[in-house]
Amino acid sequence: GQSLEQPSEVTAVEGAIVQINCTYQTSGFYGLSWYQQHDGGAPTFLSYNGLDGLEETGRFSSFLSRSDSYGYLLLQELQMKDSASYFCAVRRGKLIFGQGTTLQVKP
């Protein structure tokens, strides 16, 4: 079977760095993706890790360790507009999403 676990909520202040963790149990594996969703909006693709290591895209980075069944999304220089839900997802034929982490950025 497949399951992903993420913290339900994270709070941080503007300018800070926050890390959102994702652990998974899945039989078979085709990479870990991250999506952002603002309230009332659509999920938006952020990043994909097909191999172990760190992928950086501007202020956002994503990390994967397949041996530890673990990944994270790192958001740096937090801005108010980063307040959103963040979903990790693994692909095993289909894309399976975690329950999402609601990030609240405070002034």
The two three-digit tokens of residue 100, written as one number: 């999402």
CB 20 within 8 A of CB 103: yes
Site for other proteins contains 9 (CB under 8 A): no
The residues, ordered by sequence, that sit 6+ positions from 93 with a Cβ below 8 Å of its Cβ are none
Write the interaction track for other proteins spanning residues 40-79; mark x where CB under 8 A is met and - where it is not. -xxxxx--x-x-----------------------------
Contact footprint for other proteins (CB under 8 A): 30-31, 33, 37, 41-45, 48, 50, 85, 87, 89, 91, 93-97, 99-100
